[in-house]
Each structure stands twice: as C-alpha cells, then as structure tokens.
C-alpha cells in the first residue's frame, strides 16, 4: 500500500550470494542536462534495471546466470505480448532510471527545494542501515555508501516535490476544496483487523467450510458494530468516530479467540487496537483481491463496518471512518496529494527527464557493462 515514483530500495534489498568481485569504474559517466551522473549512480540504476528484468523472467530462465540471461528474451508487456532481449531492456531501463533521478534533482532545485537537516539525517541513517545489511551486495556491484546516501536524498526529494508543485505555496497549488473532495470520494480511512486463513502454528489452510464459519463469526461482530453506529446520535464527527472505534475494537477482539479456534489457533496480541490506514482507490483494487472484496470496501459509508475475505490468506473486519474526524487536512495533505497527483507528477518527471540533453559517455558506460552484475537471485 505505497509510492509510485521510485521502487528501487525494494529491488536492492533482494538477498543475493556474492562472489568477491570489485568493479573498476570511472568517476562519472557524463551528464543529463546539468545533472552529473556518478559511476555509482549509474551502477545503481543498472542494477535496479537488471532486477526489473529478473522479475519478468520465466520459470525456465535463470537470472543468476547474468551473462546467459542478458542474451535471452523476456516478455515486457503481458497485455500486448511485447518482448525484448534482456540486454536491451536493461539498457533502456537504466537510462530511464537516470533520467528520473536527474529530473527529480533538477526540478527540486528549480523550485527552490531544500532538504531539512532532519531529512538529510534520515537519508543518511537509512543509507547506513542498508549498507549494514546489504553492504556486500552493493560493494560487489560497485555501489558505495555515498551513492546510497545520494539515492536516499533523491527519494526524499521526490516526495517533497509533491508539495513544491501542488502544495499551498506550490507551482500549481491544489485547493483545499479539491483535496477534500478527493479525500471524501476516492480515499478510505479504514480501521481493520486481519485474520489469517491458516493455523498460525501448523500453517494448515482453512477449507471452504472453515472459512465460512470464521467469516460468520466476524460478521456477528460487524453486525453489532453497525447496530451501535446507528444508535449514536447528536455527536460531533470526532466523538462519533472515537466512540465507534472503541466499540468496534471491543466486539471484534472479543470475537477473535473463537474465530482463531476454528483452525485450532490461539489469538494473542500485544495490543487490541485495530490498524488504521488511509488508502486510495487503486490500493483498494490491488490489495482486496478476493472476489467482491474491493467492491464491498468501496460500498462502505462512513461509520459502516464489513467482514470480507481479504485475499486467499486472510479475512478482514473493516470499519470505514471519516479521516477528517481523526486528523486535520494539513496533516493529511501529503498523502492526499500523492494519491491525487502522484501519477501526474511521475509522468511529468518522466517527460522532463527524457527532454534533457544527453551528454553521457559511451566509453565510460562500456567500462561498467551489465555482464559484470553480481546476482544470484532466482525467479
């Protein structure tokens, strides 16, 4: 349930076993517009591109055998059936990554962006954590701490750009009225409990009858919640949400031991409080994959609860709340802007990056071929 602009950190966190190789690199590979591309950033972009190709490998392709995999063909668009050789795909995605990095940095500077000391510390801290955990991977692929720190700053700048472009004092500000409308019509504040459809000790899956029995028990708690909601009158929005949330927590957690017992599991938790999350419509589609679940969540009115089969592994008791009864609009602004304008900003950055004058050195890049990537992850 997450951000569209850059997903590189997840790709870099893949577990790999490493040969002890070291890549000899030039200092830079040139520039895109006025943005200089260090060799480390180039290798980072190339490694990410290779991981994207590995994700598209078929079951009979071994992405750990880098030199062989680069010569093979993958399907890059399942809808159209478009294919490409891995080497061509990696080259294209590497350039796209670099263009995105350059676009973020240049637009951030153009709009007068400035990372705070706290943001810089956050970037450095997370970069160090990544190096502590995956340093051997990075080093084997020619990626050092400075590069990871630089990338972490890019990631923070990509988030800050939403405010710089669409915020109150931004280049093209979104009005509070439009933000509120999007929040009310396209986003969902959910309080929820997830219940695994498997025994938490043996991992034996629930059969159809057990799933139905568990769902009925959760539905009883949901019905009580909805009856209680109907009885609440004359309260402010915040008091209504507070009262309903407390009741929902009480009746669902009271039901959970019996629900878990259907599969011979024991319910235990350090906190009986539900999870709280504000999600957009696209997340509803991608997260609620069981038949009818997404439509059920979309159909909830404020203050209404539902029991659904969330996906093939879990049930969910969910209560929809008014997000503005829990937080002020200013506290939600960044999240709403991301849901409302994130894709638009991403497309604008892609176009901006592609328009930059390319002054990249082929000779420098040829000294860092994808064939030198160290990768043993398998599809």
Q: Is the pLDDT of residue 14 over 60?
A: no
Extract the tokens encoding 247: 């009741």
pLDDT, one tens digit per residue, over 217-251 is 999 999 999 999 999 999 999 999 999 999 999 99
Higher pLDDT, 137 or 193: 193
Q: 24 pLDDT band (50/70/90 cuts)?
A: low
pLDDT score at 5 = 40
| Of 78, 76, 50, nearest in space to 64 by CA | 50
- For residue 375, name the pLDDT band (cuts at 50, 70, 90): confident
Hey, what are 321's tokens?
Answer: 């709340």
7 pLDDT more than 50: no
Lowest pLDDT segment from 2-6, 224-228, 233-237, 290-294: 2-6
| Banded pLDDT at 272 (limits 50, 70, 90) | confident
pLDDT at residue 1 is higher than 60: no
Contact between 30 and 360 under an 8 Å Cβ cutoff? The reply is yes
Q: Is the pTM of this model over 0.85?
A: no
pLDDT value of position 17? 31
Residue 199: phi, psi to the nearest 5? -70, 125
CA–CA dist 175, 183 (Å, integer): 12
- Residue 27's SS3 state is coil
Q: Is 5 helix (H, G, I), strand (E, B) or coil?
A: coil
Q: What is the mean pLDDT of residues 296-325?
A: 97
Q: Which of the four pLDDT bands, split at 50, 70 and 90, describes residue 120?
A: very high
Give pLDDT, residue 313.
Answer: 95
**pLDDT band at residue 8 under the 50/70/90 scheme:** very low
- Give the DSSP letter of residue 205: B
Judge contact between 93 and 101, C-beta under 8 A. no
Residue-level pLDDT at 3: 46
Task: State the average pLDDT for the chain.
Answer: 92
Residue 30: what are its φ and ψ, rounded to 5°? Answer: 110, -150
Whether residue 346 is predicted with pLDDT greater than 90 in this model: the reply is: yes
Residues 6+ apart with CB under 8 A from 375: 16, 50, 51, 54, 63, 64, 66
Task: Please write the tens of the pLDDT for every residue from 42-78.
Answer: 999 999 999 999 999 999 999 999 999 999 999 999 8
Lowest-confidence range among 12-26, 187-201, 273-287?
12-26
- What is residue 336's predicted lDDT score, i.e. its pLDDT? 97
Q: In whole angstroms, give the CA distance from residue 81 to residue 294.
A: 28
How many whole angstroms separate alpha carbon 368 and alpha carbon 365? 5
When pLDDT is cut at 50, 70 and 90, the band that residue 25 belongs to is: low
């Amino acid at each position: 349930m997450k951000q569209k602009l850059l997903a590189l950190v997840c790709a870099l966190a893949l577990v790999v076993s490493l040969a002890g190789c070291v890549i000899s690199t030039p200092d830079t590979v040139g520039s895109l517009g006025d943005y200089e591309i260090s060799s480390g950033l180039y290798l980072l972009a190339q490694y990410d591109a290779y991981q994207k190709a590995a994700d598209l490998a078929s079951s009979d392709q071994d992405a750990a055998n880098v030199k062989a995999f680069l010569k093979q063909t993958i399907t890059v668009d399942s809808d159209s059936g478009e294919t490409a050789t891995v080497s061509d795909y990696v080259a294209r995605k590497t350039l796209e990554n670099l263009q995105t990095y350059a676009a973020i940095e240049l637009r951030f500077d153009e709009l007068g962006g400035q990372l705070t000391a706290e943001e810089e510390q956050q970037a450095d801290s997370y970069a160090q954590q990544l190096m502590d955990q995956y340093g051997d991977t990075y080093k084997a692929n020619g990626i050092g701490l400075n590069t990871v720190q630089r990338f972490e700053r890019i990631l923070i700048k990509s988030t800050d750009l939403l405010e710089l472009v669409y915020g109150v004092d931004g280049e093209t500000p979104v009005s509070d009225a439009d933000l509120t409308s999007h929040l009310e019509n396209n986003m969902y504040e959910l309080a929820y409990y997830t219940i695994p459809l498997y025994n938490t000790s043996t991992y034996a899956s629930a059969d159809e009858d057990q799933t139905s029995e568990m769902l009925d028990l959760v539905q009883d708690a949901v019905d009580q919640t909805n009856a209680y909601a109907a009885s609440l009158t004359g309260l402010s929005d915040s008091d209504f949400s507070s009262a309903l949330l407390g009741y929902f927590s009480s009746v669902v957690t009271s039901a959970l031991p019996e629900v878990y017992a259907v599969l011979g599991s024991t319910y235990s938790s350090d906190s009986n409080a539900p999870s709280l999350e504000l999600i957009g419509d696209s997340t509803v589609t991608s997260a609620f994959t069981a038949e009818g679940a997404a439509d059920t969540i979309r159909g909830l009115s404020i203050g209404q609860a539902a029991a659904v089969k969330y996906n093939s592994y879990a049930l969910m008791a969910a209560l929809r709340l008014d997000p503005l009864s829990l937080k002020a609009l200013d506290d939600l602004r960044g999240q709403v802007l991301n849901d409302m304008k994130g894709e638009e900003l991403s497309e604008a950055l892609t176009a901006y990056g592609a328009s930059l004058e390319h002054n990249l050195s082929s000779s420098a890049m040829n000294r860092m071929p994808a064939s030198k990537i160290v990768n043993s992850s398998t599809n």
